[in-house]
Structure 1
């Protein structure tokens, strides 16, 4: 009788344990929506899930949104892996939201530009910022392709330009590069504000943060020119819209799509494994094909037909410009307040 009871108890425990093991835990990954979210959901999640029983959830939001979530959840983080553009990522690291990376030897295969000096974050993908324009609108008006940041001030573009706002990475890049094109710098942003206030502002149809709305404004013909990234431009072109993407002659600014394991939550070791998986050559190629983001792993070999419109390979990566995010972040709150007061009123 006692033996029967013990066997029944053991069987009950085993039966209860199996569903719990099968369910596993949930790994929360937060990052941008649009083409990147689709690529991670379709390419990275299934591949990672085939090796782990844990559930994967994606929390969509731009870099500012993800940083705000980390701030709101400080001390009790729900996000395990944060995907944030390099500028806001520097803020996230400075605020203590990222823990040291431990992703194994794959880190040695990355371009130097992808390995951030803080040791707590890195870029898993690259894109270049520049101009996206409507081929139809430009042909109809006999306009040549834009070549300079100062072209944004050309009166012929009145009400035809779309630029993300200053709380967006592309907005910051626009202000900094316009300042540099007019004799300024990250430490002397005044020429940028003057140009936007006196010349560029009247040409801007909208300071639009939403990729979907940006696409809509271009496709509808309301906008003819936008400041955007190479991956967004690829997604737009892949939709069938006749558009082109060019870097200004002053240089395209590289954006490193940063990623880090989040500190202050359950700190699952799967976060490190997920990042390592995303950095593998196979996943780098799959992500690039699906999203237009350029790989950072030097061993990731893209077919020629998938290389167009992205900073691919050591030669192109070396040509991209960088900006001083530490200096920018030091002043960014003041810039944002001034932007709202003087530009985006």
Structure 2
């Protein structure tokens, strides 16, 4: 009888231990909207099942989630954060990200996925280029935009929309205009001059909101815009004749990155979650559900799944990378100058 009771006690203890293990919670801060829907439906359930952990999703844009990390400094409640590449470089510089643990999946990535600090990794990419109304272009016999310089064409007067530079798409355009005129991230002056003198006359509005940008195209007020391949795909998926062009000088990669938070009590699970984001099946789900170009070289997409995405070694190889460390060191001053000189 004594042995039977002991056996029952051991079984109960084992059951309680298993239950406690299943109740471990991993806090992941990431984007809302369609990305959150894809994560909840196609990404998180498999991770929870494999690792016996509950994922608590904290939705917010990159600015909001970086602010959460800063507010919780010294008492982090987030275990994994997902941010745009620019804010992620800031998170790394501020010491919020831990070193990535070695794993075989990192050997399968394109070079643009790798962040030099090895404290974060880009798990998905879209390209910044030029979106245009193909129907109107065809009706007018206009060729598709082929260069960053094309946004200066007088036929787009008050028909061009560019996000402001506190948005990555607008920032990318400023950097490219600087590069094409003898400057770059370390000498942004030519970019400001090009916008002020040659781009501004064509700009209808500097619009940061994706919803408003969509409305401007649908109402016919906008015919061309500096925007992302993922945004163009989402607009085209509504039935609107949106097309996307990578300028001949190169599109710029706008990547989404993940990092395990330094000092997390769930460090092993956080590392596993970052690696999970890079697995071929997750990369495929993010491509088809959220419009992210896969950074894992082994991912195979069907032709219809590739539409609107940067995909494969040729396209990934043509995407340009900006110097985020220089940009982040100057961005506040650039934003003030932009407001004063360009959007006045």
Equivalent residues of 1:176, 1:192 under 8 A apart: yes
Name the CA distance, whole Å, in 2 between partners of 1:132 and 1:39.
24
Equivalent residues of 2:218, 2:240 under 8 A apart: yes
Change in Cα spacing, 1:306 to 1:337, as seen in structure 2 (3 Å) is same
Which stretch has the larger CA shift, 140-149 or 118-127?
A: 140-149
Where 2:233 maps in the other structure, the secondary structure is helix
Name the CA distance, whole Å, in 2 between partners of 1:202 and 1:68.
36
Q: Structure 1, residues 137-171: CA drift from partner, whole Å, max 9, x if none?
A: 33444433222222222333233222222122212
Q: CA deviation at 1:268?
A: 4.0
Pair 1:325 & 2:324 matched: yes
Equivalent residues of 2:112, 2:321 under 8 A apart: no
Unaligned runs of 5+ in 2: none
Q: How does 1:1-345 map to 2 (within 5 A)?
A: 17=16, 21=20, 24-102=23-101, 104-345=103-344
Change in Cα spacing, 1:220 to 1:75, as seen in structure 2 (3 Å) is farther
Name the CA distance, whole Å, in 2 between partners of 1:278 and 1:90.
19
Change in Cα spacing, 1:109 to 1:228, as seen in structure 2 (3 Å) is same
Change in Cα spacing, 1:274 to 1:247, as seen in structure 2 (3 Å) is same
Equivalent residues of 2:22, 2:54 under 8 A apart: yes
Equivalent residues of 2:26, 2:266 under 8 A apart: no
Compute the TM-score of the two structures, normalised by the length of structure 1: 0.88
Q: CA deviation at 1:31?
A: 2.6
Equivalent residues of 1:153, 1:195 under 8 A apart: no
Q: CA deviation at 1:264?
A: 4.7
Name the CA distance, whole Å, in 2 between partners of 1:265 and 1:275.
13
Q: CA deviation at 1:299?
A: 1.4
Name the CA distance, whole Å, in 2 between partners of 1:136 and 1:206.
22
Name the CA distance, whole Å, in 1 between partners of 2:315 and 2:150.
24
| Matched residues, number | 339
Name the CA distance, whole Å, in 1 between partners of 2:187 and 2:76.
37
Change in Cα spacing, 1:165 to 1:52, as seen in structure 2 (3 Å) is same
Equivalent residues of 1:76, 1:265 under 8 A apart: no
Q: CA deviation at 1:243?
A: 0.8
Q: Structure 1, residues 78-113: CA drift from partner, whole Å, max 9, x if none?
A: 222111222221111111010111262211111222
Where 1:130 maps in the other structure, the secondary structure is strand
Q: Structure 1, residues 233-292: CA drift from partner, whole Å, max 9, x if none?
A: 212212221110001121111223211112255444221111111111111112111122
Unaligned runs of 5+ in 1: none
Change in Cα spacing, 1:313 to 1:58, as seen in structure 2 (3 Å) is same
Name the CA distance, whole Å, in 2 between partners of 1:44 and 1:202.
45
Change in Cα spacing, 1:69 to 1:157, as seen in structure 2 (3 Å) is farther
Equivalent residues of 1:106, 1:280 under 8 A apart: yes
Where 1:51 maps in the other structure, the secondary structure is helix
Q: CA deviation at 1:182?
A: 2.5
Equivalent residues of 2:154, 2:202 under 8 A apart: yes
Name the CA distance, whole Å, in 2 between partners of 1:42 and 1:220.
33
CA RMSD, Structure 1 to Structure 2 (Å):
2.7
Change in Cα spacing, 1:204 to 1:280, as seen in structure 2 (3 Å) is same
Where 2:200 maps in the other structure, the secondary structure is helix
Name the CA distance, whole Å, in 2 between partners of 1:210 and 1:33.
15
Name the CA distance, whole Å, in 2 between partners of 1:325 and 1:295.
21
Which stretch has the larger CA shift, 111-120 or 131-140?
A: 131-140
